[in-house]
Chain A
Amino acid sequence: MISVSDIKVTFGKGTPLQKQALNGVSLTIEEGQFVTVIGSNGAGKSTLLGVLAGDVIATEGKVTIGTTDVTRQGTAARAGRVARVFQDPLTGSCGALSIEENLALAARRGERRGLASALGPQRRALFRDRIAELNLGLENRMRDRMDLLSGGQRQAVSLVMATLAGSDVLLLDEHTAALDPGMAEFIMTLTQKIVSERKLTTLMVTHSMRQALDYGHRTVMLHGGEIVLDVAGDSRKTLQVEDLIAMFRKMRGQTLDDDALLIG
């Protein structure tokens, strides 16, 4: 279970550029729940993800992952609890290292790293098997540098990397946004498979309302640093993208001017 309670994040406090990115967000995600998060640019999606990952330390409020208070922990300190796939395929993996070295790095996420060889025969075989499951033919390119792969291939490998070591939560940060539609669908299908097979507690930030409703158990909408919609169960099943837009308009009492929300 992960929970954030009454999180406030202020950037540039006390300067003319002060910005309240999150304004009292509370959210509890049960174990094994798959939550999708949607919102327009500047709504606070990325900040919320950053607060969970440790990139952003909350100005006020409390963050709990499992039973541990991680509010003040940096990214590296809580990495053992948090698996993550980034929006930019270049951020989530090391281009200068080989595929198998990237996997070796991820397999020890959050653990002590010793002087033993990173790639023994056993680990090599394990990594090969896991990559072969992708059916992308990458299992024959394990020693290739990561930067020889396409963006979609890198995201697929990143998903495998995220599941090599245990975690309390999987964070997906618009991880299909940089891909072409075909590859985006492949990655989403793969995501669905991995999350349901491993019963991962997951938070997925997305720009697409379609994705937000089609995947996961629960959808949360952010606007202006606050949660404005939180649906799950039967009421979510009947929900259409159009309904979401209508609800959004009603709730905020304003016209929707963000085209990005309407696409997809």
Chain B
Amino acid sequence: MSLIAFWGAVELGLVYAFVAIGVYLAFRVLDFPDLTVDGSFPLGAAVAAVLIIAGVNPWLAAAVAMVAGALAGLVTAVLNVRFRILNLLASILTMIALFSVNLRVMGKPNVALINADTMISPFFGHGLRDFYVRPLFVGVLVVIAVIVVWRFLESDAGLSMRATGANARMARAQGVNTNKQIYLGIALSNALVALGGALFAQTNGFADVTSGVGTIVVGLAAVIIGETLFGARGILIALIGCVVGSILYRIAIQLALSSDILGLQASDLNFVTALLVTVALVLPRLRRGGAA
């Protein structure tokens, strides 16, 4: 693996760290299997790309992308809480609908961002090579996101969200409006995922309607790899685990695809992903079985 390929993998891992944190919020904190992310990731990319091309400040474009993601999450949450549709099914409905929405937003399946001013453009050309600048920039944003989410989950408000996912009956007896917590949590989760999408569009120079396929699996892979490596030791460690897991996942994929011995090609990506997630899911179980 070349140096550029390595840092490219790190960069992509950092972009998907936002997805991992979002998936952690939905799956682990709220115990809500949310597949909306497959739609809200390209939604974030599409909104950001279209706005940037229209001349909007890229930071503002990313913020709008986050709002769009939050709204998408809210739709899923309303379908589940208000209309009692099974959470998984509710998220699939939103995900499917978002495919059409994303096409409408972009007006075509694919929008290029080459030569447009992005959030990262001002940092290029200051002596550091581009393939270092991108992961560095995204990395700083990831650190901010980790700190914000960590502080939130350890606040009074965050505690009621965690209680909602862990024991809703107890949460209600403590005066927590559990429905509101689900609205808030799923919206926040998808806002983070959409931000990941917005950064993906800007670091890769395009937004594509199909780029969302498998987002949930990638996010889940990162969360599980993090948990396998770090164990359950508090919120901050879990969030750092998401980020590290996301990066390691990308490096593992890169290694698998670039090793000549395995003879894999780019189109095998989804299979390798599924295999990797399965291994990450099965390994801790085997280890536990061996100890018992």
Taking beta carbons and an 8 Å cutoff, which residues of A are in contact with B?
Answer: 53, 74-77, 79-80, 82, 84, 86, 90-97, 101, 104-106, 108-111, 113-119
| Cα distance A109–B160 in the bound complex, in angstroms | 10
- Are the CB atoms of B174 and A79 closer together than 8 Å? yes
From A96, which residue of chain B is reached at the shortest CB distance?
Answer: B166
Q: Is B261 an interface residue (CB 8 A)?
A: no
**Contacting residues, chain A, for B104 (C-beta < 8 A):** none
Please give the number of chain B residues whose Cβ is less than 8 angstroms from any Cβ of chain A in the complex.
Answer: 23
| Cα distance A106–B163 in the bound complex, in angstroms | 11
Do A79 and B151 contact each other (CB < 8 Å), given the known contacts A93-B170, A104-B156, A105-B160?
A: no
Q: Is the interface of B mostly helix, strand, loop or mixed?
A: helix
Sample 7 A-B pairs with CB under 8 A, ordered by A number.
A79-B172, A79-B175, A80-B175, A92-B173, A94-B171, A105-B171, A110-B174
Count, A-B residue pairs, CB within 8 A: 88
- Are the CB atoms of B167 and A117 closer together than 8 Å? no
- Are the CB atoms of B174 and A91 closer together than 8 Å? no
Taking beta carbons and an 8 Å cutoff, which residues of B are in contact with A?
Answer: 151-152, 154-160, 162-163, 166-167, 169-178
| Cα distance A94–B165 in the bound complex, in angstroms | 10
- Are the CB atoms of B155 and A96 closer together than 8 Å? no
Shortest distance from the beta carbon of A255 to any chain B beta carbon, whole Å: 37
Please give 6 more A-B residue pairs, beta carbons under 8 A apart, in addition to A113-B176, A118-B156.
A94-B166, A96-B162, A104-B159, A108-B174, A109-B175, A113-B160
Shortest distance from the beta carbon of A83 to any chain B beta carbon, whole Å: 9
| Cα distance A94–B173 in the bound complex, in angstroms | 12
From A111, which residue of chain B is reached at the shortest CB distance?
Answer: B175
Q: 4 closest pairs, A vs B, by CB?
A: A79-B175, A113-B156, A110-B175, A96-B166
Q: Which of B151, B152, B174, B178 contacts A105 (CB 8 A)?
A: B174
**Most chain A C-beta atoms within 10 Å of own C-beta, residue among B155, B159, B166:** B159
- Are the CB atoms of A91 and B155 closer together than 8 Å? no
- Are the CB atoms of A116 and B173 closer together than 8 Å? no
